[in-house]
């Protein structure tokens, strides 16, 4: 039977996971007067109905900003209790924010308290529910302060449980889920541990694209002349030749078969939209998942639900168990009220990266905005490099940075890339803080990033006219940037970050951000002349995406800052994905897959590469483990 553990979000883990996803930014301000009591509710006069948690009976409605927009609740009160909470409207991410929506209303009602833990990894959705319910409590004349006082409880006694399996997988992201699916298919008894309240990891908040080189999918989309050699060459060029060639070749040789196998497991691709044209690739080899990364993650969860795998959510692995010979023979883990000791024929680390752990980041990476999953705290690296295991690491100083983040909270980014891609087909350009173009907007992300890092404050601005901006702003919802969020940023008009400055004229716009008006005006005039000529004489922008002049105002400048989610470093593995120690020897019983493995990408990863590596390495690891255990 498939088992799913109940929710764990202890205070220690909450402290570590206070950041939400790549996607998680600061909530927009709630509209004044938006919460309104239901027709059968009569708000109590101030000071009444709050003694002892008493309420004015009725149903009340309130909204608060979540990750992707407002979360609206209806709360029904009796005179003495919260009777029910229903989330009536939301746009939260399936499998992440919706986990909080499924869990928290019932927990609040059961506890008659707001002093409960939010859902790990769904911080902003959790906060939205708490805030909206608190608003309804106030409308009903209750005391929010009283509901914020935790009930006195004795310390619960923790139980001890011993389990065993052929394979323990630590981590429920794309690599872990893929490995679980394949291992179960091969007949292994699998236990999967996931410290969050849901499986999904980074793929859930990714752009939802994947390299499919060598697959039937790629051939069906019209590309039949791609090759392992071409993919390796492209990745080496993108990764500054720091890639581990043996692992990169392993990836290129197997990603096509993996992609087609995923289709058979229910993970489908958007072949109708076709392969993506990207500067990083000499052949078109990237496809989007149907339903983006959210859709892929849900399809994997559904596939695992159909197996006999034991899935323990809210259960964090804390230690690798070794025997006297140094072989890894299991893990220790902590659940909500249970401590587990799990013995296994093999352990697969699929714990993701370490972007949310500054202690493991280089100084350079610490300066970039983070937009990745809260769960990326480097647990696999920490456990594997402990004295009893002594695993080796490499390229820990590198992370995949993108040039198109907006800072929605201190140190936290959201991505504008989905809007930018459309903007390049219209009239959007990039300018530096002095008002000058410094790079082709249709160059690779790496090229744009390198130019961006050389500019004042390591940033650029996206310049758009009215027509382009009106289209651009509609394309950001998938990154958690709602049009309501944008309206709030525009109201600030450059006075706070993220900078969304706007004005009727270019001269006025330049003044808002401290640019020289003459420089910005000249830049626009020069660019428009290149559009007329059909050639970018300065930076060689793709003529096919240079067909519209920058037209009428209002004009907009949107900040573009370096952001990252994915780390490039990690554990040293061989081509069978066995982890090696600092002496270069295989650590018997220990494997790794996905982002926790270091070196495949070099110092940078091209689009669709990380998802492709996660699923490919997860599938291969399961196959190698099955063969070793026979």
CATH of domain 31-147: 3.90.1010
- Look at residue 50 in the predicted model and tell me its pLDDT: 37
328-334 and 338-349 as β-strands: parallel, antiparallel, unpaired? antiparallel
Rg of the chain over Cα atoms, rounded to whole angstroms, equals: 26
Cis peptide before 428 (omega within 30 of 0): no
- Confidence (pTM): 0.77
Where in 410-449 does DSSP place strands (E)?
412-415, 429-431
CATH of domain 160-398+568-629: 3.50.50.60
Extract the tokens encoding 151.
């009930």
Phi, psi of 451 (to 5 degrees): -70, -40
- Look at residue 155 in the predicted model and tell me its pLDDT: 62
Q: Residues 193, 196, 199, CA angle at the centre, nearest 5°?
A: 70
Distance CA 302, CA 281 (A): 32
To the nearest 10 degrees (0 to 180), the angle between helices 506-513 and 517-533 is 130
Distance CA 139, CA 555 (A): 42
C-alpha 368: how far from chain center: 15
Instruction: For 357-387, write each residue's pLDDT tens digit.
Output: 999 999 989 888 998 888 999 999 999 999 9
CATH of domain 407-564: 3.90.700.10
Distance CA 31, CA 450 (A): 40
* Residues contacting 280, CB < 8 A, separation 6+: 234, 238, 444, 445, 446, 606, 607
What percent of the chain has a predicted confidence (pLDDT) above 70?
90
Low-confidence ranges of the chain (pLDDT < 50): 1-52
The answer to whether 594 and 450 are in contact (CB under 8 A) is no
Domain boundaries in the chain?
Answer: 31-147, 160-398+568-629, 407-564
Cis peptide before 471 (omega within 30 of 0): no
- Look at residue 248 in the predicted model and tell me its pLDDT: 98
**Exposure letters 154-169 (e unless 16+ CB within 10 A, then b):** eeeeeeeeebebbbbb
Terminal Cα-to-Cα distance of the chain (whole angstroms) = 23
Cis peptide before 554 (omega within 30 of 0): yes
């Amino acid at each position: 039977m498939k088992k799913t553990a109940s929710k764990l979000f202890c205070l220690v883990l909450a402290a570590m996971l206070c950041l939400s996803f790549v996607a998680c930014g600061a909530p927009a301000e709630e509209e004044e007067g938006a919460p309104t009591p239901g027709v059968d509710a009569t708000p109590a006069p101030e000071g009444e109905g709050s003694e002892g948690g008493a309420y004015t009976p009725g149903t009340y409605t309130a909204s608060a900003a979540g990750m992707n927009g407002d979360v609206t609740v209806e709360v029904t009160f009796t005179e003495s209790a919260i009777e029910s909470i229903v989330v009536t409207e939301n746009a939260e991410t399936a499998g992440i924010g919706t986990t909080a929506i499924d869990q928290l209303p019932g927990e609040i009602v059961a506890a008659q308290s707001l002093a409960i833990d939010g859902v790990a990894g769904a911080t902003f959705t959790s906060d939205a529910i708490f805030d909206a319910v608190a608003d309804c409590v106030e409308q009903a004349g209750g005391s929010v302060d009283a509901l914020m006082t935790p009930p006195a409880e004795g310390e619960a006694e923790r139980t001890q449980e011993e389990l065993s399996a052929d394979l323990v997988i630590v981590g429920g992201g794309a690599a872990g889920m893929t490995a679980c699916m394949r291992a179960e298919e091969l007949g292994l008894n699998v236990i999967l541990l996931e410290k969050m309240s849901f499986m999904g990891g980074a793929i859930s908040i990714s752009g939802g694209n994947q390299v499919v080189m060598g697959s039937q999918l790629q051939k069906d989309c019209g590309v039949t002349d791609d090759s392992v050699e071409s993919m390796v060459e492209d990745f080496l060029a993108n990764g500054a030749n720091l890639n581990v060639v043996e692992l990169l070749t392993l990836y290129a040789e197997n990603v096509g078969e993996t992609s087609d196998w995923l289709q058979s497991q229910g993970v489908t691709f958007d072949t109708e939209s076709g392969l993506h044209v990207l500067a990083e690739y000499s052949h078109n080899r990237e496809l989007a998942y149907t339903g983006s990364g959210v859709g892929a993650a849900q399809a994997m969860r559904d596939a695992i639900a159909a197996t006999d795998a034991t899935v323990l959510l809210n259960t964090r692995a804390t230690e690798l168990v070794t025997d006297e010979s140094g072989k890894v023979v299991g893990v220790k883990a902590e659940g909500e009220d249970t401590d587990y000791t799990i013995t296994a024929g093999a352990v697969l680390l699929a714990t993701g990266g370490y972007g949310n752990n500054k202690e493991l980041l280089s100084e350079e990476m610490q300066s970039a905005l983070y937009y990745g999953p809260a769960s990326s705290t480097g647990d696999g690296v920490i456990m594997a490099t402990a004295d009893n295991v002594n695993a080796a690491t490499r390229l820990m100083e590198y992370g995949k940075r993108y040039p198109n983040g907006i800072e929605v909270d201190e140190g936290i980014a959201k991505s504008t890339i989905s809007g930018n891609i459309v903007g390049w087909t219209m009239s959007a350009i990039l300018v530096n803080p002095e008002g000058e173009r410094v790079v082709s907007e249709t160059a690779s992300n790496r090229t744009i990033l390198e130019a961006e890092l050389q500019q004042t404050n390591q940033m650029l601005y996206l310049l758009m006219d009215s027509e382009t901006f009106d289209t651009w702003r509609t394309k950001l919802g998938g990154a958690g940037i709602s049009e309501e969020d944008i309206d709030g940023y525009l109201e600030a008009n450059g006075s706070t970050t993220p900078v969304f400055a706007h004005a009727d004229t270019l001269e006025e716009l330049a003044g808002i951000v401290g640019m020289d008006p003459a420089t910005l005006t000249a830049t626009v005039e020069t660019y428009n002349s290149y559009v007329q000529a059909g050639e970018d004489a300065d930076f060689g922008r793709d003529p096919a995406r240079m067909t519209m002049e920058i037209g009428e105002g209002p004009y907009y400048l949107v900040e573009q800052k370096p952001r990252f989610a994915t780390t490039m470093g990690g554990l040293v593995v061989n081509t069978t994905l066995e982890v090696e120690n600092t002496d270069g020897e295989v650590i018997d019983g220990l494997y790794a897959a996905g982002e926790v493995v270091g070196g495949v990408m070099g110092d940078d990863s091209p689009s669709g590469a990380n998802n492709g590596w996660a699923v490919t390495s997860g599938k291969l690891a399961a196959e190698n483990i099955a063969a070793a255990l026979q």
